[in-house]
């Protein structure tokens, strides 16, 4: 009997279906008649979306420890420590609105925006674990099981950078982890947060041997691509989103981009981006961030499969070789 291939986002999405879902599932538009897409992005950037942690490492044959530790400003963060018999440690975080497990995009109500398929980080963590990496992975504030910070408002890195520092300091505080060789693997908002943390708290990253940023992005890139989908002017749409975001959070779009902070990234860094990502201006934005990185030891890898942004978060679970090889190079 032929087994049906599981949907992990490997096939291209229809942009028209995406637009239809956005419009259909926004219950109301604010009084000054912003397009539903602009309002949806404003709400997502402002508040994120807390999603359940549906899977555990032991489902994939990995022993683990439930851990909790404070962010730099005291927000309680929940995570897993997955040990193996080595002296190498990867500290891993996640995109918005995922958590340390992934994203339940196969379940309502989370199946309406990012493709209708599940993101599952556990196969990827299993590959890294089997390659000899101890893993500390955690939920950022306002995500998963971690505590609420800043009244539930997201800073798209401005607040969450404190969580990255908290995770690094926690690893240093444990006697069994303090002397390990450490790398950082961050995805999307987690990557933005890490870049901002490296800029604002450089003294906490002097022992980091390598970093990998997956789907790192500027907030403005989403609305530039979105405006093209709805045949709107990108600059006007960005201005509207900027004003609405400021009303909700006090932040502007320019505050929620890693580019101005990237020059402070001094560790060997690989950026991995989805080239045909229809939700953002992937090549333009990705190349700008990559060029701004302050390290001379850097590589840019493009994922060519699919045009669905969240497929990239499943990619290394299926094809882990380049992920593992990057950290092997610098964490021997």
Task: State the Cα–Cα distance between residues 247 and 319, nearest whole angstrom.
Answer: 42
Tens-digit pLDDT profile for residues 7-21: 999 999 887 777 777
Write the DSSP assignment of 261-273 as a string of letters.
Answer: GGGG--S-EEEEE
Task: State the Cα–Cα distance between residues 114 and 106, nearest whole angstrom.
Answer: 10
Q: Whole-model pTM?
A: 0.92
pLDDT value at residue 23: 62
pLDDT value at residue 22: 65
Phi and psi torsions of 79, nearest 5°: -160, -175
Tens-digit pLDDT profile for residues 224-280: 999 999 999 999 999 999 999 999 999 999 999 999 999 999 999 999 999 999 999
Split at pLDDT 50, 70, 90, the class of 150 is: very high
Task: State the Cα–Cα distance between residues 200 and 27, nearest whole angstrom.
Answer: 39
Neighbours of 285 (CB within 10 A): 23
Quick check: 219 and 225 in contact, CB under 8 A?
A: no
Quick check: 324 and 131 in contact, CB under 8 A?
A: yes
CA dihedral 141, 193, 100, 220 (to 10 degrees): 100
Model confidence at 61: pLDDT above 80: yes
Partners of residue 80 on adjacent β-strands: 66, 137
Model confidence at 29: pLDDT above 60: no
Model confidence at 180: pLDDT above 80: yes
Task: Give the chain's mean pLDDT.
Answer: 94
């Amino acid at each position: 009997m032929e087994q049906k291939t599981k949907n992990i986002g490997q096939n291209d999405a229809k942009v028209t279906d995406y637009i239809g879902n956005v419009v259909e599932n926004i219950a109301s538009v604010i009084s000054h008649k912003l397009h539903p897409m602009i309002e949806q992005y404003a709400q997502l950037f402002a508040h994120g979306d807390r999603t359940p942690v549906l899977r555990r490492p032991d489902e994939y044959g990995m022993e683990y420890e439930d851990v909790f530790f404070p962010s730099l400003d005291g927000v309680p963060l929940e995570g897993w420590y997955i040990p193996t018999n080595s002296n190498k440690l990867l500290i891993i975080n996640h995109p918005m609105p995922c958590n340390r497990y992934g994203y339940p995009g196969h379940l309502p109500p989370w199946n309406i925006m990012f493709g209708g398929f599940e993101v599952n980080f556990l196969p990827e963590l299993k590959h890294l674990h089997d390659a000899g990496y101890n893993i500390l992975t955690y939920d950022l504030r306002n995500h998963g099981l971690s505590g609420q910070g800043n009244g539930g408002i997201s800073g798209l890195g401005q607040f969450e950078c404190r969580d990255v520092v908290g995770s690094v300091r926690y690893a240093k505080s444990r006697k069994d982890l303090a002397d390990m060789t450490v790398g950082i693997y961050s995805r999307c908002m987690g990557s933005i947060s890490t870049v901002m943390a490296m800029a604002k708290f450089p003294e906490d990253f002097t022992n980091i041997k390598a970093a990998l940023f997956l789907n790192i992005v500027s907030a403005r890139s989403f609305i530039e691509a979105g405006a093209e989908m709805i045949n709107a002017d990108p600059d006007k749409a960005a201005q509207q989103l900027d004003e609405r975001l400021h009303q909700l959070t006090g932040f502007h779009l320019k505050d929620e981009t890693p580019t101005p902070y990237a020059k402070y990234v001094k560790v060997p860094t690989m950026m991995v981006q989805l080239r045909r990502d229809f939700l953002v201006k992937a090549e333009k934005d990705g190349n700008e961030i990559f060029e701004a990185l302050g390290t001379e030891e850097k590589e840019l890898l493009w994922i060519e499969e699919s045009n669905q942004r969240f497929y990239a978060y499943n990619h290394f679970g299926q094809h882990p070789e380049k992920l593992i090889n990057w950290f092997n190079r610098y964490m021997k």
